[in-house]
Structure 1
């Protein structure tokens, strides 16, 4: 924004006057402090009494975010996330950094008929450097008891006017009142992006003078909000919480109109004009001698693309930073061999182009950023880049940040419904969901001893996308990954082995012994033939109506195969029968297959999910199928001496 158009003075007075136009922070009452539970949600461990996010933009190119929040604590042991707070400030080392001011935080208790405040001392606020761009101020409320009220307020000043943070209205606890307010000079036009299902109790959008200048005001207020319940099988529950954010779409300064993001084509233009995106892509001369000639001359296009992907995976390493823009540039990446997601995958795009392939960058928002919407263009949500190569009439996705990725198997964090291929001429929406099927195969080869104890071997194998996901968890914490198996299975485990196999599957295996699988009833030995792979419950147990679709990273098959060998002088009785069931459209299928060969019994079950996303209306079908699965797998077998 052009500087020195108009300078706001006496800022705190101005902000107070602006706030007075709306609802002021209510006075803390003895009734608030004396209350022992929420009047509407009696089991809630805490309740938000008031929260406000008020954004004010001045004519000097600054945005001020005033945050106010007051929370009543009913059960402090179950309300830990509300007893501390973190404030992140951004500094890109080019623009003026974000700054924090007017931080106030108190704990209030009701003692001897009086409201007694406890202020957080300045020396108990901690500032930490999270990475090169973010500094975080942290504090914890002191003297919190059941019945306390905790409250904080502060102001963040930022030069970044492109968008506001997304303000979530719904929380895990009830909220009595929440508001989002934006006051902006009329020379700036913002789009209010709205998510969720709640309707505001008050909504004001109006133009009026403020501080002697024309302003546009947006205000959304919500009251008596129920706790938001996270649902299982959702990649990012925040996508379905009510929330608001404002994004700059145009400006009119000195009678010059500038459009920033009216369409995805506008965003494409901005990206291609950006020195850390489009101008980097144009530097093809810098990569002409990077690829070995034997890769460039591979005759089959998709095999050539695969070889280039493997080359980048081998020679370059992702530093873990996500961005749609390069940081130090591709030239630096070529020498340092380490870079952010944009540098790695823009280089991949250039190398594909250099090898004669039709390749373009794909920009997207990772799962934790929220879903991109075709009707709500947003450059501020973009934080990741991959490559698309067009072969035989089809776009294939490639992501070299992941060492184990393959063509069309990109980082799970990028599987976020839609991305946009940004060509030099157009922006094209593309489906980001994983197109293939992954498998999990759990196999047990067990021998029953005459005394009813068992010994054997277990293998847990994952394929395709699941293998990459499991390997990522394994590499991030190998000791913790191993412990998770020992904590899950409460019997002696030996010879534990874990790792990627030659075909890129990931496998965990171990030997086991146990004396807890069998119940002896007289002379009979009774046990579940699935042994420790049997589960009494399943995760499709939601009682409330489903709000979100069912989201899986991949269509999948989950197979459990248990083979049990008993001594020659024993025999099986009451062997369960095979059974299959499915939904009418075959979207969800299950089989329970029993095979007996003398003293050897094999039970193999398979759950098949044919898609990675299902509408919420499918949830009752999943409940019904998995109820039947649990009953089917509860069957037992009897072993007796001949």
Structure 2
């Protein structure tokens, strides 16, 4: 009799647990989630992330080698009209050279409770937008349909990238409460990344090893008068490290009066490529120092070489500085000329989009074009001027040396005290 009662208790317990456990799968929105009027732990919240699950895997193809594929699934609850912006999402992606990234959205649905029943409204093509923000970056956007107070919206996006230098930073926290945040990385043994965590909420981390296999096809032709093609398949086994970062019940990060960038204190994890170690190849180290980062940026075609272009402004510069002897007068004259001649197009960055010559001709340019032009003019006028890489507050504080640590460039000139 006791055994039967125990079995019945366990059955009821498991049934109750499964019935009440939140389903972290897209399309499984519950009536309870739609009926919820306020967040249980933050009644002032305008919205909340019910779950955010992401993973980054490395996929291999013979033509391209390894590529990173990041998939993210998100479910958001809208409590108030002020939270409607959370139904509009955007993902930035890289456009430059042969390392272009691609972004796609899927399974984007708005759920509402109508007459006690769940009503679904799928995202249509007119709610999806793609814009090119500059020469190197684009942004894919969605605007979810039929959003109301009480709606639940969910969607998935995927990013395919050959830029293996660093993984996309994963933020566990944001400006609204987050009930469940989970990020999993699947990294082949050929890549070694240094994970860097920040923030005051530390996620639970678990690591397991998986065995994976790569199949490589090859063909061989034999014969002279009558050729024959034979195909063969080679398999390479390797180890994969699966790391799971899990955090739950994260409070909203609120802006503070004396905090210049709240992201510096927001719980997140980033990964820097430290080395690669491929079969039959020497180990290649990638972790670097700030001096190496500065050199890479300087010798990029869109930075250092732009400083050497001077013909386009030389005649104008002569007219500007003629009759000026003091260095302070020359500096001020050149600065005011550039400010009044070339307008900022509201794009930041340390790389030129169209180049200093075109920016001068069109009288408009980004931060790099204007300030590299200014530095070049000051040099041509006989002053010791150099570009200086900086990071704006919005760009945050970098944990490790990398080019993304900078997003702005200014011109600095050394003056001689008399």
User: Hey, what's the Cα distance between the residues in 2 that align with 1:89 and 1:67?
Assistant: 14
Which of 297, 301, 304 is residue 327 of structure 2 equivalent to?
Answer: 301
Return the offset for 1:245: 2.8
Deviations 1:342-383 (A, max 9, x none): 111112112222222222211122222223x4x622312422
Return the offset for 1:50: 0.9
User: Hey, what's the Cα distance between the residues in 2 that align with 1:210 and 1:125?
Assistant: 39
Q: Which residue of 2 aligns with 1:274?
A: 300
Kept after mapping to 2: 8 A contact 1:107/1:144: no
Alignment TM-score, normalising by the size of structure 1:
0.51
Which of 153, 156, 160 is residue 157 of structure 1 equivalent to?
Answer: 160
CA 1:219 to 1:332, structure 2 compared with 1: closer, same or farther past 3 Å? Answer: same
Q: Which runs of 5+ in 2 are unaligned?
A: 1-21, 214-236
User: Hey, what's the Cα distance between the residues in 1 that align with 2:142 and 2:185?
Assistant: 26
Kept after mapping to 1: 8 A contact 2:103/2:140: no
Kept after mapping to 1: 8 A contact 2:109/2:123: no
1:93-492 alignment, distance < 5 Å: 94-95=97-98, 97-101=100-104, 103-109=106-112, 116-129=118-131, 131-132=133-134, 133-142=137-146, 144-146=148-150, 148-200=151-203, 202-204=204-206, 208-211=210-213, 212-252=237-277, 255-283=281-309, 291-292=317-318, 295=321, 298-371=324-397, 373=398, 376-392=400-416
Give 3-state SS (helix, strand or coil) of 1:62's partner.
strand
Q: Which residue of 1 aligns with 2:232?
A: none
User: Hey, what's the Cα distance between the residues in 1 that align with 2:305 and 2:170?
Assistant: 34
CA 1:131 to 1:48, structure 2 compared with 1: closer, same or farther past 3 Å? Answer: closer
1:585-596 alignment, distance < 5 Å: none
Deviations 1:104-163 (A, max 9, x none): 12233456776x3514142442325354552433221436452x4322112122333333
Alignment TM-score, normalising by the size of structure 2:
0.75
How many residue pairs get aligned? The number is: 364
Return the offset for 1:90: 4.2
CA 1:90 to 1:302, structure 2 compared with 1: closer, same or farther past 3 Å? Answer: same
Q: Which runs of 5+ in 1 are unaligned?
A: 1-22, 394-642
Give 3-state SS (helix, strand or coil) of 2:317's partner.
coil
User: Hey, what's the Cα distance between the residues in 1 that align with 2:88 and 2:31?
Assistant: 23
CA 1:260 to 1:279, structure 2 compared with 1: closer, same or farther past 3 Å? Answer: farther
CA 1:173 to 1:327, structure 2 compared with 1: closer, same or farther past 3 Å? Answer: closer
User: Hey, what's the Cα distance between the residues in 2 that align with 1:214 and 1:287?
Assistant: 58
Return the offset for 1:258: 4.4
1:63-78 alignment, distance < 5 Å: 63-73=68-78, 75-78=79-82
Q: Which has the higher contact order (CA 8 A, sep 6+)?
A: 2
Deviations 1:209-264 (A, max 9, x none): 34543334443221111122222354433333222333435444562454445211
RMSD over aligned Cα atoms: 3.2
Deviations 1:82-108 (A, max 9, x none): 23333444434x336433335112233
User: Hey, what's the Cα distance between the residues in 2 that align with 1:377 and 1:339?
Assistant: 28
Kept after mapping to 2: 8 A contact 1:298/1:304: yes
Deviations 1:371-429 (A, max 9, x none): 3x4x6223124221111112247xxxxxxxxxxxxxxxxxxxxxxxxxxxxxxxxxxxx
Q: Which residue of 2 aligns with 1:464?
A: none
User: Hey, what's the Cα distance between the residues in 1 that align with 2:413 and 2:242?
Assistant: 45
Return the offset for 1:324: 1.0
Deviations 1:473-502 (A, max 9, x none): xxxxxxxxxxxxxxxxxxxxxxxxxxxxxx
1:20-99 alignment, distance < 5 Å: 25-26=24-25, 28-59=29-60, 60-73=65-78, 75-92=79-96, 94-95=97-98, 97-99=100-102
User: Hey, what's the Cα distance between the residues in 2 that align with 1:124 and 1:304?
Assistant: 54
Kept after mapping to 1: 8 A contact 2:131/2:139: yes
Q: Which residue of 1 aligns with 2:220?
A: none
User: Hey, what's the Cα distance between the residues in 2 that align with 1:276 and 1:239?
Assistant: 29
